[in-house]
Structure 1
Amino acid sequence: MKNTVVVLAGPTAVGKTALAIRIAQQLGTEIISADSRQCYRELSIGTAKPSPEELAAVPHYFINSHSITEEVNAAMYEQLALQYADDIFKRRPVAVVAGGTGLYIRALLEGMDRMPPVPPEIRTALREQYAAHGLAWLQETLRRRDPAFYAVAETQNPQRLLRALEVLEATGQSITAFRTATPQQRNFNIIKIGIQLPKEMLHDNIHRRVDGMMDAGLVEEVRSVEAFRHHNALQTVGYAEIFDYFDGALSLPQAVEAIKTHTRQYAKRQLTWFRKDADIQWFDAREGDAIMQALLAQLH
């Protein structure tokens, strides 16, 4: 049997962790996370990291693997995840990749596109404008000048938006024009499974999860990493809103509502991204038995 990577994708709060563990246990294998923030040891509550019990149930790679003092990106993830997969394949013919960061999944399966160089003066000028005018300016500029990118962008992530604007300024072309490189051929088979839920049910999961994060001490976690607030991983949902609360821009109840709203929007963008991949087989997240049957049929 040729080595196979089973990818489990889907929006936040849909139930990927529990299903990935079930699949890995049934196949006697291990899990590679494809989440751009759960790799940081200091970020647990706001990233909805698997519980200690879940991490003990099945070996996980790329969770608690880095410190917030380090910068991790998709190009690094590509190299790391390929190494993790090779490591698993020494013992098992199947590796499970689970997560919601579409760019990281694509980096592992297809390789990273080579981005054009950006002159330092463009980068500096744009960062100064962002510092002066804030996220709303960045969003509006890209919505107007690069609507194709903006339609699928992580609009709450200023690092990604700045990167897109840098490429636009430097080349006159949308960053999406550089994302059409020929996929690299990997030496393993790939099976892609997507899980989803009815919208009301997913939103209910998201709201309960955010309330649970608050009860678990999200405010204290964000305070503990305040020194790194400009780090890419903290310019994201669940952290940015609590920093706004610290700054007095939002009350705590307003910050909680903003996290829920932004998480719903993020889940919608994740689905938009994954639905463009014709190779993903979609299931209702509650159909665990059907998913296992379909998967086992493809593996044998």
Structure 2
Amino acid sequence: MSPETPLLIILGPTASGKTHLATRVAYEIGGEILSADSRQVYRQMDIGTGKDLDEYVVNGVPVPYHLINIRDAGDKYNVNDFQHDFADSYQQTLANGHIPIVCGGTGFYIYALLKGHANDTVPVNESLRAILESLSNEELLAKFLNSDSRYHALADISTRKRLVRALEIAAYLNEHPETDVDFGAESVTYTALLFGLNPTVETRRERISNRLMTRLKHGLIEEVQNLLNQGIAPDSLIYYGLEYKYVTLYLTGAMTFEEMRTKLETEIHRFAKRQMTFFRKMEKDGLIINWIPDEWPESEKIQFIIARYREFKSGNAGNMSV
């Protein structure tokens, strides 16, 4: 059963301007931000995760936010933790009489909110399915038995359809080892209206490169060094990926500064591309994302989102798109 108040979701790849836009929308309509970012949950990991907490003050008015700075650096946090924490934040937002606005780039977390059960949060892989469907039942079973993943002990392979899905889930978990899923967990699903930001590749790349240089000059290295000084193991920081992985490798002598900067820039660009790929998979799975043209003035973006959300909430909206 879905909660009655729908979510307003603003998603997009890194450096697309999600937080800036979401906080302005929240300011206009009395909203609270519910972050869907897998790394912003950690305290003292501010610069590398791009929290941009100054964005949460609009015209001198603080915009309430949730699911940021709720875990200590060094902890592990997964999609099941997120689903449970999100439910509490959602209820708190409603109790405050405000509108829940989800903002983030962790597509897997957003997908989980809309699909519910953890088994459903692993996206469909059409290319893999095409390959698997060409195999006989015996070949599928042999492929499953000759492979391994965290899901194997839990998989239901009683029918061909379930066997194909089991192989699909196993492949996803092997390709995304950072994804921690409790397949026994049940969760609430939410009704939502989704808006997406997707600047051109050239614009996105320029923003990512400029932002990285700014962060390196203004505290990113010191932030990671401070975490190491507190006794957090290098492997724990490397686990978080991107900025924390490569700056840690630099600080521990595994890379030169230039090697770190070059590799990190490349990996952030690749990360943004993977984010967009996941959002496209969400659309293939039936989730409608209203993509907002990057060239629109900010005021037009804000008013468009507010108008469409009000229509959606009142039940008068259909399958809307820009």
Q: Per-residue CA shift, 1:180-219, capped at 9, x if unaligned?
A: x9x9763x53100000111111101001110111111111
> Which residue of the partner structure matches residue 252 of structure 1?
257
Going from structure 1 to structure 2, the CA distance change for 1:49 and 1:66 (only over 3 Å counts) comes to same
> 1:270 and 1:165 mapped to 2: Cα distance?
26
> Which residue of the partner structure matches residue 37 of structure 1?
39
> 1:232 and 1:165 mapped to 2: Cα distance?
27
Matched, 1:277 2:279: no
Which of 19, 22, 45 in structure 2 is aligned with 1:20? 22
> Which residue of the partner structure matches residue 7 of structure 2?
5
> Which residue of the partner structure matches residue 150 of structure 2?
167
TM-aligned CA deviation for residue 23 of structure 1 = 0.7
> 2:24 and 2:307 mapped to 1: Cα distance?
16
Matched, 1:113 2:107: no
> 1:189 and 1:8 mapped to 2: Cα distance?
14
Unaligned runs of 5+ in 2: 121-126, 130-146, 156-165, 174-182, 312-322
8 A Cα contact 1:241 1:259, kept in partner: yes
> Which residue of the partner structure matches residue 292 of structure 1?
302
8 A Cα contact 1:12 1:267, kept in partner: yes
> 2:237 and 2:272 mapped to 1: Cα distance?
19
Q: What SS is found at the alignment partner of 1:193?
A: strand
Q: What SS is found at the alignment partner of 1:72?
A: coil
> 1:51 and 1:36 mapped to 2: Cα distance?
16
> Which residue of the partner structure matches residue 213 of structure 1?
215
- Could you state the TM-score of these two structures normalised by the residue count of structure 2? 0.70
Q: Per-residue CA shift, 1:3-46, capped at 9, x if unaligned?
A: 12111110001101100111100111110000011111120111
Q: Per-residue CA shift, 1:73-97, capped at 9, x if unaligned?
A: 1001001111111111123352100
8 A Cα contact 1:74 1:107, kept in partner: yes
Which of 178, 192, 195 in structure 2 is aligned with 1:193? 195
Going from structure 1 to structure 2, the CA distance change for 1:74 and 1:197 (only over 3 Å counts) comes to same
Rg comparison, structure with higher value: 2
Going from structure 1 to structure 2, the CA distance change for 1:286 and 1:83 (only over 3 Å counts) comes to farther
Count of aligned residue pairs for this structure pair? 251
Which of 230, 233, 255 in structure 2 is aligned with 1:228? 233
> Which residue of the partner structure matches residue 265 of structure 1?
270
Matches within 5 A, 1:13-162: 13-52=15-54, 54=56, 57-92=62-97, 94-114=99-119, 148=128
List 4+ stretches of structure 1 deviating above 4 A. 168-172, 176-179
8 A Cα contact 2:8 2:193, kept in partner: yes
8 A Cα contact 1:46 1:239, kept in partner: yes
Instruction: Report the AA paired with residue 68 of structure 1.
Output: A
Going from structure 1 to structure 2, the CA distance change for 1:176 and 1:75 (only over 3 Å counts) comes to same
Instruction: Report the AA paired with residue 45 of structure 1.
Output: I
Identity of aligned residues (%): 29
> Which residue of the partner structure matches residue 152 of structure 1?
none
Tell me which moved more, 105-114 or 11-20. 105-114
Instruction: Report the AA paired with residue 281 of structure 1.
Output: N
TM-aligned CA deviation for residue 294 of structure 1 = 2.8
Question: How big is the alpha-carbon RMSD for the aligned residues of Structure 1 and Structure 2?
Answer: 2.9
> 1:268 and 1:46 mapped to 2: Cα distance?
18
Q: What SS is found at the alignment partner of 1:277?
A: helix
Q: What SS is found at the alignment partner of 2:118?
A: coil
> Which residue of the partner structure matches residue 203 of structure 1?
205
TM-aligned CA deviation for residue 275 of structure 1 = 1.7
Unaligned runs of 5+ in 1: 116-146, 150-163
8 A Cα contact 2:25 2:306, kept in partner: no
> 1:3 and 1:233 mapped to 2: Cα distance?
38
> 1:275 and 1:54 mapped to 2: Cα distance?
28
